[in-house]
Structures are given as structure tokens and as C-alpha cells.
Amino acid sequence: MIHGEQSDLFDVLAHIAYSAPLVARAHRAQAVQIDLATYNPAQQDFLRFVLDQYVRTGSDELDTSKLSGLLHLKYDALADARAALGDVPAIRQLFIGMQER
């Protein structure tokens, strides 16, 4: 019926209700990656990892409740994540700030 498997639910609903074009998660992630130049290399690496997870599994990966799991998946240990990215409040702000762009 509607081929929206690679789009977020919001885009599918907007397509149904308003005939808005379907936007694939990969396209949204690419738009964010253009802005990553403002971050240091370690932050860019982590944010690219988060965006890859988002493209694969959907917008649930962007929920702040998933941050701890993403850090463990990427760095194995929170101490390694802090060494690369800074303290926990800074990491949280990085994660949220990327989504506000």
C-alpha cells in the first residue's frame, strides 16, 4: 500500500493526511551529517554512530532513554565514552543538541 518502511511514522502519517512526500530516515540523517563539522572528531564519530542506528531501526533510537545503551554499544564501557566525549551531562547535551538541528 504505502512503501514507508524506511520512513518515520510521522512522515507516513503526513503522507497519508496531507500528501506530503515520504522522507526516508537516511535522507534525514544525511541532512544532519552536513552540520557535524561543528563538532570535534570524537563527537562526530559518536553522532555518526547514533545516526546509523537511527537509520537502521527508527526514531526510537533517538530517545534519551536509549543513550546509555548506545554508549555501551559504541564504547563498551561508560568510562571509555567519558574519556572520548566528556562528562555525562556533556554527552547528554551532545545527544540532544544534535537532534535539535
pLDDT in tens, 20-35: 777 788 887 887 777 7
pLDDT averaged over every residue in the chain: 85
pLDDT above 70 for 92: yes
pLDDT above 60 for 18: yes
Provide the pLDDT for residue 69. 96
Provide the pLDDT for residue 16. 65
pLDDT above 60 for 15: no
Task: Spell 32-65 as b/e; 16+ CB within 10 A means b.
Answer: beeebeebeeebeebbeebbebbbeeeeebbeee
